[in-house]
Amino acid sequence: MLQLDHLAVSAATLEHGVAWVEDALGVALAPGGKHAHMSTHNRLLSLGDIYLEVIAVDPAAPAPAWPRWFDLDSFKGPPRLTNWIAACDDLDAELALSPAGAGKPIDLERGDLRWRMAVPADGRLPFDGCFPALISWQGRLHPTVLLPDMGVRLIRLEIAHPDAAALTDHLKARLFDPRIVFETGPQKAMRATFSTPHGKRLLG
């Protein structure tokens, strides 16, 4: 079974992405860290049971010999919500049920956090990135227990894609979260609605 774990906002630079999210939601993001294997870095925001990360290429790190996750090597334009990540207990079993190209498991770590994550060979997730990145946390430590609660919660995640019906078929027996809505649209689009101390706010 799959469970919504976190949302990813991609940005050309971490500073630009953080400023965009903080302006949109009206709260400050917490420190994150660096991902040595992918030469990326992030900042985080608690959403209660899940979290949001702003992620970007780390200019201070050497470029990896493989594509970065979330197709960050091809990212251009302003910061935006690009991906969602689903957690599972058995990553190999979930990958066997996933469409081709969902990725191969990689063991990763950042500080005291340990996890396995399925990363596509070309960095591009199925359905133009609308299929979730799959993650399996190792041990009991999870970012949500380390982050300050800023009073922000996810209300709704809308995921649009031309082949939304096929995407839904892949996930309907494995993921049950009323906050996630799949819609048919002319191209990939993601929009998230949040409750914040300042009222409802959107990220797209």
> For 112-142, how does the pLDDT look when each residue is reduced to its tens digit (9 = 90+)?
999 999 999 999 999 999 999 999 999 889 9
Phi-psi domain of 95 (left: phi exceeds 0; alpha: psi -120 through 50; beta: other):
alpha
Q: Sorting pLDDT into bands at 50, 70 and 90, what band is 7?
A: very high
Helix or strand or coil: residue 81? strand
pTM of the complete model? 0.96
Asked whether 5 and 86 are in contact (CB, 8 A), the reply is: yes
The domain ranges of the chain are 3-149
> For 32-82, how does the pLDDT look when each residue is reduced to its tens digit (9 = 90+)?
999 999 999 999 999 999 999 999 999 999 999 999 999 999 999 999 999
Residue-wise DSSP of 29-75: PEEEEEETTTTEEEEEEE-SSSEEEEEEE-TTSPPPSSPPGGGGGG-
> For 149-196, how does the pLDDT look when each residue is reduced to its tens digit (9 = 90+)?
999 999 999 999 999 999 999 999 999 999 999 999 999 999 999 999
Helix (H) or strand (E) holding 137: strand 133-137
Token code pair at residue 78: 């302003």
Q: Which residues of 146-169 are buried (b: 16+ CB within 10 A; e: fewer)?
A: ebeebebbbeebbbbbeebeebbe
Q: Which CATH class, in words, describes the domain spanning 3-149?
A: alpha beta
143 alpha-carbon distance from chain centroid: 13
Q: What is the pLDDT of residue 82?
A: 98
When the pLDDT of each residue in the chain is averaged and rounded to a whole number, the result is: 97
Token code pair at residue 92: 């190999």
Cα–Cα distance measured from residue 169 to residue 1, given in angstroms and rounded to the nearest whole number: 14
Q: What is the pLDDT of residue 140?
A: 87
> For 73-114, how does the pLDDT look when each residue is reduced to its tens digit (9 = 90+)?
999 999 999 999 999 999 999 999 999 999 999 999 988 999
Q: What is the pLDDT of residue 90?
A: 96
